[in-house]
Structure 1
Amino acid sequence: MTDSLHIVCPHCHTTNRVARSQLGSAPDCGSCHKPLFEAHSTALDEASFDKHISRNQIPVLVDFWAPWCGPCRQMAPGFEQAAKQLEPQIRVAKVDTEANQSLAARFQIRSIPTLALFVGGREVARQAGAMGVADIVRWTQANLPR
């Protein structure tokens, strides 16, 4: 296990090298100087999605959702609370499937909300349907590679 990790900035999408021991010490981006973790989800679009999935050396939990979806809006506050519990060990992100239809098609998102967990650039788990904060955290942790 290496002592530093690549972490993609949620603001400017620059890849940063962060010492593993410094993850919990509120590291800042070397480029834009904003916090790399703010205990809430990062909105991803088609341009930033692949960079976050492929370059982050921490798992990435993605909520595929849409603004018109009632269950998505119902789950949103719990997803933000889950981000507070999961970061900085896991990047928590959201993809608006209405605004990013080709991403939704590429990942064959058939119902929303759908959570997808990516590790090392690959999807390792998927769960459709709204969940509460405790279930989001538990599901995510249960699906991390050991």
Structure 2
Amino acid sequence: MSTFNTRCPSCSGINRIPTERINETPNCGKCQSPLLDGAPIEGTELNFNAILASDVPVVVDFWAPWCNPCVGFAPIFSDVAAERSGMVRFVKIDTESQQNLAAQHQIRSIPTIMVFKNGKRVDSINGALPKSQFDQWLNQALTK
């Protein structure tokens, strides 16, 4: 049985999740908050492939802490994650600490937002968007 670790978006506690349970709705062992829905998940080399393998579409924000547009877009990304809880998973990948993932996905500018379905990228966009435009783009990307 393989597992991956993920940080709780509520209390920052580390939780181990069996990969075969990725399609379930696991809760944090510490605070009982949902681990995979309702808030962006911290993407790492150790958990990203398992998250992509889920049946649920995945929206990924490749960002960096020094990037002002990235920091400005973060609340919008979090709001949309909360609104689409249970329907779509949202992941944030810090390109500074996860350089191999950034290279693997050929990130040239940030923020870069990608949508994955069944582990395959179906759409991407560069740059921060206002919430209404992000919602509109996401609706179109999820129909692909």
Q: TM-score range by the shorter chain?
A: 0.7 to 0.9
The match for 1:14 is: 18
Partner of 2:52: 53
Structure-1 separation of matches of 2:114 and 2:96: 17
Q: For this pair of structures, how many residues does the alignment match?
A: 129
TM-score by length of 1: 0.78
Deviation at 1:12, TM superposition (A): 2.9
Is the contact made by 2:35 and 2:41 (CA closer than 8 Å) also made in structure 1? no
* TM-score (structure 2 length as normaliser): 0.79
Structure 2 residue runs without a partner (length 5+): 9-14
For 2:39 and 2:123, how far apart are their aligned partners in 1? 21
The aligned residue for residue 24 of structure 1 is: none
More helix by share: 1
**Taking every aligned residue pair, what percent have the same amino acid on both sides?**
34
Unaligned 5+ runs, structure 1: 1-7, 19-26
**Structure 2 Cα separation of the partners of residues 67 and 131 of structure 1:** 17
Q: CA RMSD in A?
A: 2.3
| 8 Å Cα contact 1:86/1:137 also seen in 2 | no
* SS, match of residue 143 in structure 1: helix
Moved more, 32-41 or 128-137: 32-41
SS at match of 2:142: coil
Partners of 1:34 and 1:81 in 2: how far apart?
17
